[in-house]
Amino acid sequence: MNTSSVELERAVRGDTDLDELLRISREPSVLRYLSLSDNYFNYVTETEGVYYYKIMVDRVPVGGIHGETDGNVLYLSVCVSEKYRRLGIAETSLMKYFAMLPDTVKTIEVSIEETNIPSRRLFEKLGFRAAGWDQELITYRKRVSQ
């Protein structure tokens, strides 16, 4: 797969792709690490400082990036459909997302379950370092150079 066909689009209320993204969030391998409420897309499209970018491949939604800012810290999560994993999509999407960050973001933080080895490897490859543990979650952090 050519990762140049990967695009990010900010989700907005009433977006026709949200049903497909909700379906992706209910795939067994996603549910293992992430659970979305019925009001999730209302939250990410209507709350200040909260952003959800759809990951699109050839105009098809294949996952998303959730970001929330608190001061100069961005809290992040990413999800890609089982069918589109191990193709470089998450890495490409995150690099594009990081390029769009406002100058006010100085630190990016992500919490990953210790058993989620593929996500841990991805974020380590992107320069994140383990910064703490909370039960079975590892907090990874990266300083942003602006």
Provide the domain count of the chain: 1
Distance CA 43, CA 41 (A): 5
What mean pLDDT value characterizes the chain? 88
Q: Is the per-residue pLDDT at 146 higher than 60?
A: no
Least confident of 13-22, 25-34, 85-94: 25-34
Confidence (pLDDT) at 125: 96
CATH of the domain at 89: 3.40.630.30
**In 104-135, which positions are buried (b, 16+ CB within 10 angstroms) versus exposed (e)?**
ebeebbbebeeebeebbebbeebebeeeeeee
Per the confidence metrics, is the pTM higher than 0.85? yes
- How does pLDDT run across 23-79, given as a tens digit for each residue? 887 777 776 666 667 778 778 888 888 999 999 999 999 999 999 999 999 999 999
Q: What is the mean pLDDT of residues 2-9?
A: 82
Range of the domain at 22: 3-143
Share of the chain above pLDDT 70, in %: 92
Would residue 15 be called left, alpha or beta, if left means φ above 0 and alpha means ψ between -120 and 50 degrees?
Answer: beta
- Cβ atoms of 46 and 18 within 8 Å: the answer is no
